[in-house]
Structure 1
Amino acid sequence: MEKVKVQLPSAGNEAFNIAACFEGLGMDSRRLDYERAGWMAQRRRLCSPLAKHVASVLKAMTDSAFVVRRGVVLEHAPGTRNPVTWIDCLAVSAYGAFAIDRYDWMGMVKSSMNADELLLHERPGVVSVQTSPLRRAKPALRHLRVILGAYNCPVESIAVFSASHCVLDPALPETILQAAELHHFMRTRLKRYRETHSQYLDSDSISAHLQSRCADWGKS
């Protein structure tokens, strides 16, 4: 039997539909479920260091409770070809919810003329056009803002570049950052929230509501 190599989503918050990835290959539902479960388990393992880093940063911010989950799946467009969106790490704090995705690009990352694209200078003379992490995160961001509207909860998407050989152009949006910048970023969000709100959010209630609306609530 001929082996078929299927390229599954490898990084970032991409709306994905495993069945669509295998469309036309004649695989039954059990095989599709197996492939999907394997991809999700592998991705969650890769995101474990990110989740631990996020938790340590949030713990340093306030004494308030927070929740961090790896590999959350949102069903943002049921009935469509791409009904769900994957989030590497979803953090719910007393001052907002953050959809955080891990990227392992190597090289210099710069802006392009198209806001939905970035330029990756992998090595001298080699430049590739990549979909911006912020563009990839839009389905999740829209969905989270809708389902958390009643909580008056700020929601943001963050792209964290973890590779040591990745350099980010200072002109990139502030939500595209390196792991070492996450602590400062969260400090700015905490300060912003304190200036505009009288009390902290109930992160436990928000997390419970999110869990009821997620196709897969992920792992802590």
Structure 2
Amino acid sequence: MNTSWVLLIGALLFVWRWARRSGFPSTTRQSAPPVLRSDIRGEEGERRVYEELLDALTWICGENFFLHPGALLLNHAPGTAYPTAEVDHLAITPFGIFLVETKDWTGLIEPGPDSGTLIRTGADGKREARTSPLRQNRSKVAFLRSVLPALWTIEGVGVFASDNCVLSPALPVSVMLREDLRQWLRARQALHAKRCSVPVDVAKAWKAIQSVANTDDTALRKHRERLRVNPKNLPILS
């Protein structure tokens, strides 16, 4: 090979390596948001709750239910800064539609100073005020009630996935541990039958929800990025 070509190739390699070390943006690849440890924990907790839901609903309903395989977005406020709301798990059964908010918190969970707040005490004794999963679900439940038949039961549920979590008995019954889901759903089925409530048409309900929902992975990622840029954290208590 001609010496001048060797020198030219060497110079180009030097410039390319220097540009990479200097942090110049790539023209062929876009950097993805960093995967946080909390994200991994959250996804693992959601997987465990999904499996518990699937097992419980199969036991109670046979094949007559729908459980969405993963999170989905409700287009509850078009045109606003936060037009979508994420639902961790959507379960549609003949005895009700349930929006499940999953938390992978550890420690002792107790009622807070108001119905929208919980107090978490960690292993180090530090007490934190955190938003209740029932409060997080409130607007989503209200939205679905506004677009679905009024006679259908629609509820929000808060489920704690971690085995290292203890719940105060003073919490509402719709805030529960993962292993409580089966009996809670069974009790809801019995209550629905006792009240002679109108059964939910599972297929019709899912079709209606699809018209106001988004299950696209890209939309879900963008939604989470918006929330990450503008976190809504509650203060730590003394």
- TM-score, structure 2 length as denominator? 0.70
Equivalent residues in 2 for 1:23-172 (5 A)? 47-63=46-62, 65-69=64-68, 70-148=70-148, 150=149, 152-172=151-171
Q: CA deviation at 1:66?
A: 0.5
Q: CA deviation at 1:136?
A: 1.1
Q: CA deviation at 1:134?
A: 1.0
1:52–1:143 Cα change, 3 Å: same
Q: Which amino acid aligns with 2:204?
A: S
1:2–1:61 Cα change, 3 Å: farther
RMSD in angstroms over aligned alpha carbons? 2.9
- Unpaired segments ≥5 residues, structure 2: 1-20, 24-29, 34-38, 218-238
- Higher Cα Rg, which structure: 2
Q: CA deviation at 1:210?
A: 0.8
| Contact 2:109/2:121 (<8 A) preserved | yes
Alignment partners' CA distance in 2, 1:200 and 1:115: 30
1:160-196 deviations in Å (ceiling 9; x for gaps): 1011111000110111100110011001100111112
| Contact 1:88/1:100 (<8 A) preserved | yes
* Secondary structure, counterpart of 2:143 in structure 1: helix
1:130-167 deviations in Å (ceiling 9; x for gaps): 1111111112111111111x262101111110111110
Q: Which amino acid aligns with 1:55?
A: L
- Give 1:176's aligned residue: 175
Q: Which amino acid aligns with 1:96?
A: G
Alignment partners' CA distance in 2, 1:198 and 1:157: 18
Alignment partners' CA distance in 2, 1:137 and 1:198: 23
Q: CA deviation at 1:2?
A: 10
Alignment partners' CA distance in 1, 2:167 and 2:47: 23
1:100-152 deviations in Å (ceiling 9; x for gaps): 1211111000012221111101135310111111111112111111111x262
Alignment partners' CA distance in 2, 1:203 and 1:114: 35
* Secondary structure, counterpart of 1:80 in structure 2: coil
Alignment partners' CA distance in 1, 2:43 and 2:90: 12
* Secondary structure, counterpart of 2:71 in structure 1: strand
| Contact 2:107/2:120 (<8 A) preserved | yes
- Give 1:28's aligned residue: none
Q: Which amino acid aligns with 1:214?
A: A
Alignment partners' CA distance in 1, 2:181 and 2:192: 16
Q: Which amino acid aligns with 1:80?
A: T
Q: Which amino acid aligns with 2:103?
A: Y
1:152–1:44 Cα change, 3 Å: farther
Q: CA deviation at 1:47?
A: 2.4
| Contact 2:161/2:177 (<8 A) preserved | yes
* Secondary structure, counterpart of 1:152 in structure 2: coil
| Contact 2:45/2:104 (<8 A) preserved | no
Q: CA deviation at 1:200?
A: 3.1
| Contact 1:44/1:88 (<8 A) preserved | no
Aligned residues: 187
Which is worse superposed, 96-105 or 62-71?
62-71
Q: CA deviation at 1:89?
A: 0.5
| Contact 1:64/1:94 (<8 A) preserved | no
